[in-house]
Chain A
């Protein structure tokens, strides 16, 4: 089943006994801190899980796939995620079919 913020809140309530409001605030704030750091140009390292890094991309030639018209892809900053060794190892061991 897909994990969303609602399940994260439920899980913190079950595991830690935080009340739903506290748990919801904490989950929201966690992702907001990660977003905030990335927005200030800072990479984020979550040991055991992975790192979010930023890359500045130069403008490059592109094309409208429908019309074939040439339009440049503008310079932009993008977020990339590099999973940590521990997460990679755990996911690699998964042998079933994905959702």
Chain B
């Protein structure tokens, strides 16, 4: 499932809103989530999960093509921890639905 498929489904279910408003809403929502993480804050959505940043220390890496060593500076990476409801619902479906569209 993609962002545009979600927008289509929500537009159908929220027929009193224009398709454009639904599309903008989803884009604004994801933009707000990205802004939050890139300013060092967390996201917590009950029943879904939480997003936070994990620290990666500086390390000496290698350019896989040239073999040259490169010094990589410390950085943060986004991390998602599924909430209990999502974990349980996904796990409960493992016998019923094969994994598709990965």
Contacts and interface: CB of A to CB of B under 8 A. Distances in A.
Nearest to A80: B80
Chain A interface residue bracket vs B: 35 or more
Contacts of B36: 3
Contacts of B55: 98
B42 A3 contact: yes
B2 A48 contact: no
A45 to B, nearest CB: 5
A94 B39 contact: yes
Contact of B9 (A3, A33, A55): A33
Interface in B74-102: 75-80, 82, 85-87, 89-94, 97-102
Contacts of A34: 1, 6, 48
B28 A16 contact: yes
Contacts, number: 182
Main SS at interface, chain A: mixed
B30 A48 contact: yes
Contact of B40 (A16, A48, A55, A98): A98
B45 to A, nearest CB: 6
Interface in A38-62: 38-50, 52-56
Given A2-B44, A88-B77, 16 more contacts: A2-B41, A3-B42, A8-B29, A8-B32, A16-B24, A29-B10, A30-B6, A33-B1, A38-B89, A41-B97, A75-B94, A79-B80, A90-B34, A98-B42, A99-B41, A99-B42
